[in-house]
Structure 1
Amino acid sequence: MRGRTVVEFHGEIDIATTRQSDQHLDAATARSAPSVLVDLRGVTFIDSAGLGPVCRAWRRAVDRGGDLTLLCTDTRMLTILRLTGVTPAIAVTGS
């Protein structure tokens, strides 16, 4: 059985960090049927450019028969995810 890959982000996720975010998320979703947990608990800011890599990684994971879940407990971040339509498409957990 394959384990879950955890990708942990800290600080701001925006246009300045998309290349780095893409690299980490590409690696996490590279195999067949990837199971990925993106930990956003250390994120202080995210904008639409920062959400792009997360959404692309989710699509790659699903297309390859896997899944991607977001770990988020911050109410401001959860509101952004909801308002941008990321949720409910991408599952979010608080633990």
Structure 2
Amino acid sequence: MDIVSAKVAADKAMEYVRELAPEAKCIALEGIELSSNKDVGEVIVGYALASDIPQMALVAANVDMRSRRTHKRLFIDAETLELRKMEPYEIAA
């Protein structure tokens, strides 16, 4: 996966998150990797839920904001850019 196709896969993954989780806000790319057989891009996307944003603002000084974000691992077909799988992803503390 070259830089252009990695960017396209990342953009597509964030688009899938916006479509499948409309309550997701502040969506950000957290990581991307090509599978060993080079047919799937594994993209990690993080976001805050709209309902959590006011609470996050109130406790921002006292809480690690990463713990308030949701993360998903998306598997994007490298050729068709179709979503193959989406699953929860835990960021190590």
TM-score (norm 2): 0.29
TM-score (norm 1): 0.29
Which structure carries more relative contact order (alpha carbon 8 Å, separation 6+)?
1
